[in-house]
Amino acid sequence: MAGLTWLPFLASSLLMMVSLFQSSQAAGVAVYWGQNGDEGSLADTCASGNYQFVNLAFLTTFGGGNTPVLNLAGHCNPGAGTCTSLSVEINDCQNQNIKVLLSLGGAVGNQSLTSADDARQVANYLWNNFLGGQSRSRPLGHAVLDGIDFSIESGTGLYWDNLARALSGFSSQKKVYLSAAPQCPFPDADLSTAISTGLFDYVWIQFYNNGQCQYSTNADNLIAAWNQWTSVHSNQIFLGVPAAPAAADGGYIPPDALISQVLPSIKSSHKYAGVMIWNKYFDSGYSSAIKEQVAASSPSIAPGSGSPSSPAGPHSGRKKSKNLRVKLYVVGAAIATSLAALALLFWCCKLRKRKGNHRNFMGSEMPELDDNEDDESLFFSFTSIEIATDHFSEENKLGQGGFGPVYKGKLVNGLEIAVKRLNRMSGHGIEQFKNEVKVISKLQHRNLVRLLGSCLEKEERLLVYEYLPNNSLDSVLFDAAKRNILDWKRRLKIIEGVAQGLLYLHKYSRLKIIHRDLKTSNVLLDADLNPKISDFGTARIFGENEMRGSTMNIVGT
């Protein structure tokens, strides 16, 4: 291991560079644009240098079988196809490192999702028409927006979490940024479930139109509500304010009061990321007055002065943009170099893999998988799983299998998981554990429960699976209240899904596996009642070209 003594130094250097990169991303200002034809063009909005985020407002109607309606006031007419001209302006904004998102919602229109499947259809529409997908009729032309903003003010409040998950799923192709604009009373009636998924990159809270948590003569109620909101699963939270008294029914904060009374308090939170302004039409100088203090590490007000510093000169924004661009290039190059070095290190370690033990991410030694192919699973640290399951609490216990209990957990990124904690005295030894990881990691099918990773640390042996909210098929079939949701159409779909999963196991997987323990309790249902086979029981494993069993092991119990 002497040749790897430089690893801690490299890792530390990379962390420092990442920290530098993060610190270079100062807090910023977000604005809503598109609700008044007299507010100026999108190009002028971005060229002002006042904003780091622009939300195009709004897609007012969608879901529930409704034809989607884009309403950008007097800027263009989507029905006549004139909004495609915005494509050039969107690209221009993005070239200035400004993120442009499409905002869903608004106070008019019809925004409602009727089911998880409806949410998935809306996500597909958004991906193909505004994001990285393909469609013949893209309302904004060929421009690819950076993400989707949830500004929901009507509907049932249901299935927004499903929409967030579906949109987030496209990030494997191109990052889809998600933002939400909840009302300041905590938690928000419409968006709390969606925000709790932890999938939202930005949360800009509307501290206006709500007397109990908005600014009046002092900031006490606002600060109290802000402190509640910092508990949500998002690392970047924005203070939402109206740009002028006429922009909202209460909650306007004069720039000097924002700088002297509000910013010093909310900046103490590490989740503070800036200010969101409603909206561009009413912003006749508000953003210019506050942007320096919003981005500053701490407010710098001259003694005895209750007003913000004077706006910067006409060339200061250009200088700062250039300096930031240079800094990003330098930091990006350094990170790329370090990542290349880490990749080389990883390759070297893979060459040495079969010579002995290797180490997991927590530093403890891990036995080798006796396999001629690369291990495809992700190793979790025991600490991360312990936190996710609340120290394997009884409240999170889902059930008891033949080789140990199963727990529900939630990772720090909001992902829900199911953790199988194998009994130390179950007879499920290291070889069986290694075999299970090896086999299940090779199985990728929509009708099989997906293995997310494993942990073999100290004396603990854990398997981490995707969590399926509707439990097992038998729990639905034999529940008088639930069985009615399984009409014959759904039952046929479940039968077909199970058959597809078995066909994959028996014929098309790289290792041929006979389940040998298939029953309704071993068929789990996802949020849309799609079946996924679990608990492979005593499985017989075949090589790709073999017709007889090559080994006998416990897999997936």
Using a pLDDT cut of 70, give the percent of the chain over it.
72
Which residues are CB-contacts of 512 (< 8 A; sequence separation ≥ 6)? 505, 506, 541, 542, 543, 544, 546
Q: Write down the catalytic residue from 39, 89, 153, 457.
A: 153
Which residues are CB-contacts of 65 (< 8 A; sequence separation ≥ 6)? 114, 118
63 confidence band (pLDDT: 50, 70, 90):
very high
How distant, in Å, are the alpha carbons of 63, 87, 418 from that of 125? Answer: 10, 18, 31
Question: Worst-scoring range by mean pLDDT, 199-203, 397-401, 496-500?
Answer: 397-401
pLDDT reported for residue 231: 86
Q: What is the pLDDT of residues 130-160, one digit of tens each?
A: 999 988 889 999 999 999 999 998 767 789 9
pLDDT reported for residue 443: 72
CATH number for the domain formed by residue range(s) 358-466 = 3.30.200.20
Is the pLDDT assigned to residue 470 strictly greater than 70? yes
Is the pLDDT assigned to residue 200 strictly greater than 70? yes
Is the pLDDT assigned to residue 550 strictly greater than 70? no
Distance CA 134, CA 127 (A): 8
The separation between CA 505 and the C-alpha centre of its own chain, rounded to angstroms, equals 31
275 confidence band (pLDDT: 50, 70, 90):
very high
Distance CA 54, CA 94 (A): 10
453 confidence band (pLDDT: 50, 70, 90):
confident
Structure tokens at 322: 């250039």
pLDDT reported for residue 376: 42
Structure tokens at 514: 């006979």
For 29-294, which CATH superfamily applies? Answer: Glycosidases (3.20.20.80)
547 confidence band (pLDDT: 50, 70, 90):
very low
Q: Is residue 153 flagged as an active site residue?
A: yes
Distance CA 462, CA 401 (A): 13
435 confidence band (pLDDT: 50, 70, 90):
low
Place of tokens 């041929």: 512
The separation between CA 390 and the C-alpha centre of its own chain, rounded to angstroms, equals 22
pLDDT reported for residue 341: 63
| 473-554 placed in CATH 3.40.50.300 | no
Mean pLDDT estimate for the chain: 80
Distance CA 461, CA 454 (A): 8
Amino acid present at 79: G
Domain ranges of the chain: 29-294, 312-351, 358-466, 473-554
Q: Kindly give the pairing relationship between strand 531-533 and strand 523-525.
A: antiparallel
Element (H, E) at 457: strand 451-457
CB of 295 closer than 8 Å to CB of 261: no
Average pLDDT over residues 329-353: 61
Q: Kindly give the pairing relationship between strand 416-421 and strand 404-410.
A: antiparallel
Beta bridge partners of 203: 180, 237
Average pLDDT over residues 202-228: 95
Q: In the sheet that 551-554 helps form, which strands lie side by side, from edge to edge?
A: 512-514, 538-542, 551-554
Range with top average pLDDT, 115-129, 439-453, 476-490: 115-129
| Residues constituting the chain | 557
Structure tokens at 159: 């299935």
pLDDT reported for residue 39: 97
225 confidence band (pLDDT: 50, 70, 90):
very high
Is the pLDDT assigned to residue 45 strictly greater than 60? yes
How distant, in Å, are the alpha carbons of 177, 179, 214 from that of 168? Answer: 8, 11, 31
Inter-axis angle of helices 316-351 and 7-24, to 10 degrees?
Answer: 160
Using a pLDDT cut of 90, give the percent of the chain over it.
47
pLDDT reported for residue 417: 93
Closest residue by Cα to residue 213 from 239, 185, 187: 185
Q: Burial of 3 by CB count in 10 Å (0-12 exposed, 13-18 middle, 19+ buried)?
A: exposed
